[in-house]
């Protein structure tokens, strides 16, 4: 095995572990995303290529690909006159949009506890908690604004890349 092949396999494994932990998905699903990032960037990979490259069973690959499609971590496209589907990892703007959904949910629940704590804070610990919530709300707003800006930039890049094809 040459050095580049070894590096490729290490990257796929590293991505697999990363996505498995942050998305709470099976190890094979994480490796599929890793494979698509490392090797499927230009033209995507067919189902058969994914099976071959990962050495897993067709049913395992199918199950995990369906999970990734449902959770919008992977996309597919077809080519005219070709019956195969080509899979790619979801664009970065999509992945970041999922983080934005998390932030919006976090913001909502933080607003609710803030409103509640404002009405009920009666001891020093609860007043300290109220100050922590205020600081956290400020942080969430800053992160959300930064993330929205980054998503817009990635969408511009992705649109530009599509028009260059």
Examine the domain organization and report whether 48 and 78 are in the same domain: yes
What is the spatial distance between Cα 34 and Cα 41, in angstroms, rounded to a whole number?
11
Interval 43-62: pLDDT, tens: 899 999 999 999 999 999 99
Examine the domain organization and report whether 37 and 72 are in the same domain: yes
Interval 68-105: pLDDT, tens: 999 999 999 999 999 999 999 999 898 899 889 989 99
Write out the residue range of the structural domain in which residue 149 sits. Answer: 92-163
Domain final position from 89, 117, 140: 89
Examine the domain organization and report whether 77 and 11 are in the same domain: yes
Q: Structurally, how many domains does the chain consist of?
A: 2
Confidence tier at 165 by pLDDT (50, 70, 90): low
Q: Is the predicted pLDDT of residue 164 greater than 80, yes or no?
A: no
Examine the domain organization and report whether 55 and 79 are in the same domain: yes
CATH classification at residue 74: 1.10.10.10
How many Cβ atoms sit within 10 Å of the Cβ of residue 103? Answer: 17
What is the spatial distance between Cα 28 and Cα 129, in angstroms, rounded to a whole number?
41
Evaluated on CA atoms 95, 96, 97, 100, the torsion sign reads positive
Domain final position from 56, 89, 122: 89
């Amino acid at each position: 095995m040459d050095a580049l092949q070894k590096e490729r396999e290490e990257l796929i494994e590293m991505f697999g572990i990363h996505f498995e932990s942050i998305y709470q998905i099976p190890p094979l699903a994480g490796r599929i995303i890793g494979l698509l990032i490392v090797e499927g960037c230009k033209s995507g990979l067919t189902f058969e290529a994914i099976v071959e490259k990962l050495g897993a069973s067709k049913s395992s690959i199918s199950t995990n690909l369906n999970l990734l499609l449902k959770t919008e971590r992977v996309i597919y496209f077809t080519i005219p006159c070709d019956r195969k589907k080509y899979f790619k990892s979801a664009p970065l703007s999509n992945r970041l949009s999922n983080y934005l959904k998390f932030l919006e949910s976090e913001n909502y629940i933080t607003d609710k506890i803030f409103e509640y704590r404002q009405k009920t804070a009666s001891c020093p610990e609860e007043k300290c908690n109220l100050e922590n919530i205020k600081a956290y709300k400020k942080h969430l707003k800053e992160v959300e604004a930064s993330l929205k800006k980054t998503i817009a930039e990635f969408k511009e890049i992705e649109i530009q890349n599509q028009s260059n094809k």
